[in-house]
Amino acid sequence: MAKRVYEVWKGRNKFFLGGRLIFGPDAKSLLASFSMIIVPVAIFCIFVGRHLRHEFPSYNAGYAIIVAAIVFTIYDLVLLLLTSARDPGIIPRNLHPPEEEFRYETSISQESGERQTPTLQFPRTKEVMVNGVSVKVKYCDTCMLYRPPRCSHCSICNNCVERFDHHCPWVGQCIGLRNYRFFFLFVSSSTLLCIYIFSMSALYIKILMRDEKGTVWKAMQESPASVVLMAYCFISLWFVGGLTGFHLYLISSNQTTYENFRYRSDNRYNVYNRGCINNFLEVFCTKIKPSKNKFRAPVQEEVHRPPPTTARDSGTDDGGAPENRRMKVEDDLDFGGDILKISQRHNIEDIESEIRSRGNDSIEL
């Protein structure tokens, strides 16, 4: 049975469900991210939301506090899975370098004055046009291709990724062209979830102060879970909130994290910037391109065909030695099933007589 592409994949990705889900090599960190979302929400629903529901008895509005937390959490987890379990924009590797870029150069020896064996020269960069501006793209030795503009090779996943932003260890995947939208929505929704849990926990502390007619300290002693949740959400907001603000800036200027950190000091002109509104529309309102990889497709074996042999390649000519002429005949002569019989003969005269008997005058000896 032929193997499938995901079974012989040369990157460091991990596949599940028969190649339907693709993760990075650090996919285990995804479990930590799930726990950091689910555990606080569970604590909130059990120790805080359960008591808040009695504060809004009309039309059972109190239950909406718990339902909103659960729905928001499920939405956040779905976005996390969509970010982590899909192809971020991996460019398929080539089996060999692009032949149209080969260049052969012959050097002359300074000692003997003779020409040396031609060496293969391969340009490391080439220029392409982006919005009317010339942009240099680099050749990737691992993937054996010229990277498209904004593409970079991820050293962790060992893949070239289109519109490479960064490799996020918290989602265990590269962030690129095909999952950047879901990554931003995941980060921003996590920010809103932290704000929601923090606000509801603070509200419960205020309600305890009112009912017990005590101080903040007594209310905090009455509900230590609220204090823990407020502290946890406050710390998390510095991370996910700051990340949301940073990526809002990147989207507005049509940059990637990789470009921002690498070219920040160059003050180079951003050829991809189309204006703030158009930049947001490009990220959120354009159709996501289909994956260039068919991970579940059977592997297609490449047929290796040797290059045709010429007289110059084999070092023979019409006046060559009998042994060289025999090699020439065995390379060029094709009589179907008789070629094996003829090629095994060791006497050049027998070969020549065989050719004359067949009347083949297109082969030179």
CA angle 278, 192, 55 (to 5 degrees): 145
Tokens standing for residue 104? 């052969």
CA quadruple 342, 348, 352, 353: dihedral, nearest 10: -80
Could you tell me which of 290, 299, 291 has the C-alpha nearest to residue 6? 299
In the chain, beta strands by DSSP E: 14-16, 21-23, 103-105, 119-121, 125-130, 133-140, 145-146, 152-154, 159-161, 166-168, 173-175
Q: Looking at 140, 143, 154, 168, which residue is catalytic?
A: 168
CA 128, 131, 133, 135 dihedral sign is negative
Q: Write down how long the chain is.
A: 365
Active-site residue flag, 168: yes
| CB count in 10 Å sphere of residue 67 | 14
User: Tokens 């095909």 label which residue?
Assistant: 178
Return the active site residues. Answer: 168
